[in-house]
């Protein structure tokens, strides 16, 4: 069952007390989401230098990322209106990826969404699907948005399956604009609307006092 952090005591393996655990905003069955952290910059940098990761990350070029560049990226996003979370694995509480809402337009209630599962051994375990559901919940229930869009390379079949399970649906394609190997592939556009989504977590949090369990 998906839960909110206050509803259980979250402990890090081998450590005692809440002060030793990462700051967490939203908790799911498999993953939890918390703020980006400056002390994790070496971890973020390691992920961005893994070419297996960059294969499906659009539109990041497969070039080396220095620690200085990673720090500049971090500082630039602190000054932006993007909402970024670190993804933690529930069983170990290690950071395994990042996710973000970008291009947030409160007037039109829209945003783009992206996810990166940086640890190779954490792919194919449903972490991306649950992260997508938690972020849609945050976008719709927390921020009051109505439409969230993502783009995905046509060769990223695992990603498309994960996003569809979370509630996204394909709405169109940009043809032959992503190169992999000796071929040009389509960019797949997928979206989800608030009216098509049922809140798994935050619907039990953002309620008036007389309606909360």
Global pTM reads 0.89
Which candidate, 168, 75, 67, 51, places its Cα nearest to that of 113? 168
Q: State pLDDT tens for residues 17-51.
A: 455 689 999 999 999 999 999 999 999 999 999 98
Retrieve residue 138's tokens. 């945050």
Q: Which fold has domain 5-211?
A: Aminopeptidase (3.40.630)
Alpha-carbon distance of 164 to 119, in angstroms, equals: 22
For the chain, the domains span: 5-211
pLDDT exceeds cutoff 60 at 15: no
Among residues of the chain, what percentage have pLDDT more than 90?
77
Q: State pLDDT tens for residues 154-197.
A: 999 999 999 999 999 999 999 999 999 899 999 999 999 999 99
DSSP 94: -
Asked whether the beta carbons of 189 and 149 are under 8 A apart, the reply is: yes
149: CB partners within 8 A, 6+ apart: 110, 111, 112, 113, 189, 190, 191
135: CB partners within 8 A, 6+ apart: 33, 85, 99, 101, 113, 115, 148
């Amino acid at each position: 069952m998906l839960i909110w952090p206050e509803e259980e005591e979250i402990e890090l393996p081998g450590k005692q007390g809440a002060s030793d655990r990462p700051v967490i905003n939203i908790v799911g069955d498999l993953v939890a989401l918390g703020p980006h952290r400056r002390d994790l910059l070496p971890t973020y940098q390691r992920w961005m230098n893994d070419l297996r990761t960059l294969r499906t990350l659009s539109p990041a070029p497969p070039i080396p990322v220095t620690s200085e560049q990673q720090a500049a990226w971090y500082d630039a996003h602190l000054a932006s209106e993007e909402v970024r979370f670190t993804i933690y694995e529930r069983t170990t509480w290690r950071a395994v990826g990042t996710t973000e809402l970008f291009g947030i337009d409160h007037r039109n209630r829209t945003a783009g969404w992206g996810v990166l599962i940086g640890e190779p051994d954490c792919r194919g375990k449903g972490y991306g699907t649950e992260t997508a559901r938690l972020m849609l919940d945050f976008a719709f229930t927390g921020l009051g948005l109505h439409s969230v869009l993502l783009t995905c390379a046509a060769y990223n079949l695992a990603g498309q399956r994960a996003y569809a399970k979370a509630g996204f649906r394909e709405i169109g394609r940009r043809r032959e604009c992503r190169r992999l190997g000796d071929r040009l592939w389509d960019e797949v556009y997928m979206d989800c609307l608030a009216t098509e989504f049922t809140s798994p977590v935050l619907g039990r949090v953002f309620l008036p006092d007389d309606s909360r369990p």
